[in-house]
Chain A
């Protein structure tokens, strides 16, 4: 069936999917980011030692905190949108509007988080 799709990654990126495609792509990237973070975090807390210290040094850095807070926020809120619309399929007609609402929720929280993280990083 759909096993032999010959779509390259560049053709895929040219697909004009708009908001829903952006949400799909970011959901995928943020999900992988969280899996990577939680896996290394569990291993670091289990192993300890130099490797654990190395992982912890990465978590403490401001750029990683900004990245992971975006992953968690976007994945959580976009996932809530997917869950609600999938479990009540009648709402799927309003998918684009739901994605706009989502950004209105995510961006202010993310902005505040960036300010807090940078303040802490600069101010100590």
Chain B
């Protein structure tokens, strides 16, 4: 016996904010994979094959921030400190923060059911959303 498909077509499902954030969580995951692939390709172009070990490549993969590799054996840091890499790192930080903070909210929603508590968490997360990645992006552009 074959069970009937439980997938509703999009137009019958209804789109609210939570549904959009559900979609955002998936798409931002794919976006972060894309950023990591770009960072690894950049590392390979800029001498990862001869200058870096695996740990160094991983540091580049998780946002190419110059201060991440000051302790590694990469000799030339200037080629990483370009606006392109800083912009990519900033995008990565913001995407990761939005993904993570929304994830935190959906975990909290599972354990706190009172409406005012949920509203309180939403307010806190909304305040944190520009502040935390803002600090990270500030560090990226000033270091």
User: Given A28-B107, A32-B107, A83-B29: A38 and B7 within 8 A (CB)?
Assistant: no
Chain B, residue nearest A44 (CB): B139
Pick out which of these stretches binds chain A: B42-50, B72-80, B81-89, B95-103: B95-103
> Main SS of chain A's interface residues?
helix
Rounded to whole Å, the gap between the CB of A102 and the closest CB of chain B is 14
> Main SS of chain B's interface residues?
helix
Q: A42 near B55 (CB under 8 angstroms)? A: no
User: Given A38-B96, A45-B139, A46-B139: A80 and B33 within 8 A (CB)?
Assistant: yes
Chain B, residue nearest A39 (CB): B132
Band of interface residues on B: 20 to 34
Q: Would you call B104 an interface residue if the criterion is a C-beta within 8 Å of the partner chain's C-beta atoms?
A: yes
User: Given A46-B139, A83-B30: A31 and B55 within 8 A (CB)?
Assistant: no
Q: A116 near B104 (CB under 8 angstroms)? A: no
Measured CB to CB, the residues of B under 8 A from A are 7, 26, 29-30, 33, 54-55, 62, 67, 93, 96-97, 100-101, 103-104, 107, 113, 132, 135-136, 138-139, 143
Measured CB to CB, the residues of A under 8 A from B are 3-5, 28, 31-32, 34-35, 38-39, 42-43, 45-46, 72, 76, 79-80, 82-83, 86-87, 89, 116, 120
What are 23 residue pairs bridging A and B, where the CB atoms are less than 8 Å apart in the complex? A3-B113, A5-B113, A31-B104, A35-B100, A35-B101, A35-B103, A35-B104, A38-B96, A39-B132, A42-B132, A42-B135, A42-B136, A42-B139, A45-B139, A46-B139, A79-B29, A80-B33, A82-B26, A82-B29, A83-B29, A86-B26, A116-B54, A120-B55
